[in-house]
Amino acid sequence: MRLRQLFILIGCFQLWGSFSVISQIPDKDVDLHERSLYRLTGQVVNYETTHYPEGMHVKVVIDYELKNISDKNLILWKRNEPDFDPEPTFTGKIVSRTELFRLGDIIDEHYGGPSNDYSEKWAHLRRGLDKASPPENITAAVPSGEIWKFTSYMTIIAYKKDNERTKELSFDTYLKISPFWIKTSYEVWSFNIDPKGKDRGYKIGERLQKRWARFGHLLLRDIHSEPIKVDFRNFAGSTDLPPHRELFDARPLAAIQTNHGTNVAGSGVSPASPKLVINTPPVERLIYQTPSR
């Protein structure tokens, strides 16, 4: 009897561990099949710091590569119309002390996403997507073995002092534990494409997935990156001492070029600079370029 109770107890701990690991995944609608179709890797190319009295915001600029590792085309919504930001929408992050992302290693995690939007632009987009085959003007195909590249950023808030109660970390602590690791997630298909009511979510996308199946697989769920190394030692300073400008090659935001949304099958959008929105009023704003790869 005691042995049976012990096995039940062990089983409960294993089940709890599984739920804990799942809870770390930013996307609440994880599709494991879709995640097996691609690899999303990233490399930090720039840091941008905005100083405030309570600490600083560090914007980590990342070059991403999504590689199609399936045997079919991956079809993406190409957000190149004037009403839509052409970059994928950042939806979540997990920050870990190690590349393993064990429960005890997690420093911070966040899941957000876009707001509900019922404006006419979505109705216009729905009409444009309602075709027998993927419309070339608003979809892009990534063939098997090919790569789609884009540039985006995520923000790490570093305070002047550690706070044990709120688990907030200071810049100096991030500096000491560097390098640390992040996983990020991005929206590639907006739930705002689906109307209000019973179809809210991915219903339209799922119907298009089936309709376009002979052309490839339409990606609907958020895409998730593999671990990305972040190293605050790549720039000097602390919240009390701003980084040394002369040690780094600072460059304007306009100089950070991207080729997001590229349709490697033939059509795509022109490169554009990432839109880094600066909170106001900043005390000081500095941009650093990471060392050449």
| Global pTM value | 0.73
Q: In this predicted structure, what is the pLDDT of residue 83?
A: 81
DSSP assignment string, 15-32: HHHHHHHHHT-S-TT--H
Instruction: For residue 198, give every residue at least 6 positions away whose Cβ sits within 8 Å of its Cβ, in sequence order, or none.
Output: none
Tokens of 204: 């339209």
Which range (4-8, 76-80, 107-111, 218-222) has the least confidence?
Answer: 4-8
DSSP assignment string, 97-113: SSTT--GGGEEEEEE--
Output the CA torsion 42→254→158→279 (10° steps).
-130
When mean pLDDT is compared over 2-11, 83-92, 138-147, the highest value belongs to 138-147
Instruction: Kindly report the number of other CB atoms within 10 A of residue 270's CB atom.
Output: 10
Q: In this predicted structure, what is the pLDDT of residue 6?
A: 43
Q: How much is the mean pLDDT over the chain?
A: 76
When mean pLDDT is compared over 15-29, 55-69, 114-128, the highest value belongs to 55-69
Tokens of 22: 């799942």
When mean pLDDT is compared over 103-112, 228-237, 239-248, 278-287, the highest value belongs to 103-112
Per-residue confidence band for 272, with pLDDT thresholds at 50, 70 and 90: very low
Overall average pLDDT of the 123-143 stretch: 95
Overall average pLDDT of the 21-47 stretch: 76
pLDDT of 285 higher than 80: no
Overall average pLDDT of the 97-110 stretch: 95
Q: In this predicted structure, what is the pLDDT of residue 68?
A: 98
Q: What is the distance between the alpha carbons of residues 199 and 54, in angstroms, rounded to a whole number?
A: 44
